[in-house]
Structure 1
Amino acid sequence: MKKIVLISLTSSLILGCAELQQVVNQLPQGSVGLSQLDIANGLKEALDNGIEKQVSKLTATDGFLKNEAVKILLPEELQKVDKGLRDIGLSSLADEGLKVLNRAAEDAVKQATPIFVDVVKNMTFNDAKNILMGDNSAATSYLQSTTSTALYSKFNPVIQNSFAKVGADKVWTNIITKYNSIPLVKKVNPDLTDYTTNKAMEGVFKMIAVEEQNIRTSISSRSSDLLKKVFALQDQK
């Protein structure tokens, strides 16, 4: 088989590439040579595509609410609130409470893309190599480990503001007041901002994982020549 030579950008990037070189050496004859820069750029393109395609879906109206994979349901503490309201004929109020949580998440996720773009832009070749040759969730795990703190810091105040914008604060004040007035119930006072923030982040990573799975397993999902060449390395591992 014809060997593909990986062109080193700097001596520091050479470290840790032995296993990748072994895979490269096994590629079919006729494969076009890939430099380390090609591999890094290919992974960045894949991540950018996944972020643009999947995260943008979540920012649309009903992006959370009508997507069963990420729809934000009530925390355990509030499930009894939901049931209690429905039991006394306030189903519409319970439905509205659920809707405004999801609306706030849809609003907050608009803050995610710049954070992801910045992380991807600064990704090293070693990061790219580990993602490419990792398991089917390696890219998602990388983004989760490198962005979670920043995402929470961005999402939390946005969700708090979104609660006011979409009326969630008033709706939930009304819901909790109504529920706490039901005789003999244990009163509740949940931190819905923190809960919704974490659920919004969970939804973002779940959708990125969907796109990562697509691009790793479906050649038709590789939308450019560079992606096809780079992920051929993964296919050979």
Structure 2
Amino acid sequence: MKKIILLTLPFLFIGLSSCDTLNQVAQTTVQQYGNPTQLEISNGLKQALELGTGKSSDQLSAVDGFFKNAAVKILFPPEAQKVEKTLRSIGLSKLADDVILSLNRAAEDAASQAKPVFVNAIKQMTIQDVTNILLGQQDAATQYFERTTTAQLTANFKPIIQGSLNKVGATKYYGDAAAAYNKIPLVTKVNPNISDYVTQKAIAGLFTVIAKEELNIRQNLSARSTPLLQKVFGYYDRNKK
């Protein structure tokens, strides 16, 4: 019975403002069930983070996960945008398009490898980490992952990115584009190696999507899909800064 009540709480205050709804549901939850224990807070937050990071990895590793998401789509490196502009101006737009598509395909290929890194980081969280994340800024979890997983993600992604770049033809396409550009008289030569850039952009894109998922669960009742998440984030709603 308790589970049914918790699951239906998000729909009881649909006529109120978003802020009022969160506060009202939080008050109702604590009246019914009290404050969550430290263990519940820890388990609830970790559950939320595992769901959020898993969803983000799945979303970006799907076909067009990067390519058709304007927020994370990988374009030519800033220092090579002149390459793209020049190639298009001399009738090589198809080559430029192939480069962009292949860079994003490589990032999509690598994104699925992020899950174990995040799961390990979640397992290593202390009670203090959990409290700081839950009651911290709205991107506190994203900041935590950036601090604790970027080095490992880079180490794990780089060989996968390189292999993916080779597999989808990005190395060849970008190398061809750079070579074609470098043959133009009087231009400043560009580095044809693209793997470091794609690795960095793939990780940055992953954190962009994770931040969006974090904000969603902090602000939207419907994203709190289990009774435990509702109880823990009801506590967050009452105590957030």
Q: What TM-score results when the alignment is normalised by the length of structure 1? A: 0.86
User: Using the alignment, how far apart are the partners of 1:190 and 1:218 within structure 2?
Assistant: 45
Q: Which residue does the alignment assign to 2:77?
A: 75
**What is the distance in 2 between the residues matched to 1:28 and 1:147?**
34
Deviation at 1:30, TM superposition (A): 2.7
Q: Which amino acid aligns with 1:64?
A: F
Alignment correspondent of 1:18:
none
- Per-residue deviation, 1:190: 4.8
Q: CA deviation at 1:132?
A: 0.6
**How many angstroms does 1:33 deviate by?**
4.4
2:122 corresponds to which of 120, 124, 131: 120
| 8 A Cα contact 2:174 2:192, kept in partner | no
Shift in CA distance, 33/186, structure 1 to aligned 2, threshold 3 Å: closer
Aligned residue in 2 for 1:19: none
Q: Report how far residue 180 of structure 1 moved.
A: 1.1
In 1, Cα distance between equivalents of 2:62 and 2:232: 32
**1:43 aligned to 2:45?**
yes
Corresponding residue SS for 2:191: coil
Letter in 2 for 1:77: E
Partner of 2:177: 175
Aligned residue among 222, 227, 232 for 1:220: 222
User: Match for 1:74: what amino acid?
Assistant: F
1:158 Cα offset (Å): 0.9
Q: C-alpha separation between the residues in 1 aligned to 2:191 and 2:229?
A: 49
Q: Which residue of 2 aligns with 1:161?
A: 163
Shift of 1:206: 0.5
Q: Which residue of structure 2 aligns with residue 142 of structure 1?
A: 144
1:63 aligns with 2:58: no
How many residues end up aligned between the 2 structures? 213
AA at the equivalent of 2:112: K
The equivalent of 1:111 in structure 2 is 113
- Give the letter for the 1:56 counterpart: D
The answer to whether the aligner puts 1:85 opposite 2:87 as a matched pair is yes
CA distance in 2, matches of 1:129, 1:191: 42
1: distance between equivalents of 2:137 and 2:115?
Answer: 24
1:99-141 alpha-carbon deviations (Å, 9 max, x no partner): 1111111111121100001111222221111111001000111
The structure with more helix, counted as a fraction of residues: 2
Q: Which amino acid aligns with 1:218?
A: N
The one-letter code matched in structure 1 to 2:233 is F
TM-score by length of 2: 0.85
Aligned-residue CA RMSD (Å): 1.6
CA distance in 2, matches of 1:212, 1:199: 20
- The superposition leaves residues 168-202 of structure 1 with CA deviations (integer Å, 9 ceiling, x where unpaired) of 11111211111111222221115411111110010
Q: Could you tell me the percent identity over the aligned residues?
A: 52
Q: Aligned letter for 1:41?
A: N
Structure-2 residue corresponding to 1:187: 189
* 1: CA distance, partners of 2:218 / 2:100: 35
- Deviations, residues 123-164 of structure 1 (Å, cap 9, x unaligned): 222111111100100011111111011000001111111111
Structure 2 unpaired stretches of 5+? 1-25
How far apart, in 1, do the equivalents of 2:79 and 2:192 lie?
A: 8
Distance of 1:166 and 1:212 partners within structure 2:
32
Q: Is the 8 A contact 1:77 1:190 kept in 2?
A: no
Deviations along 1:15-38, one digit per CA (max 9) or x if unpaired, are xxxxxxxxx9xx843333422111
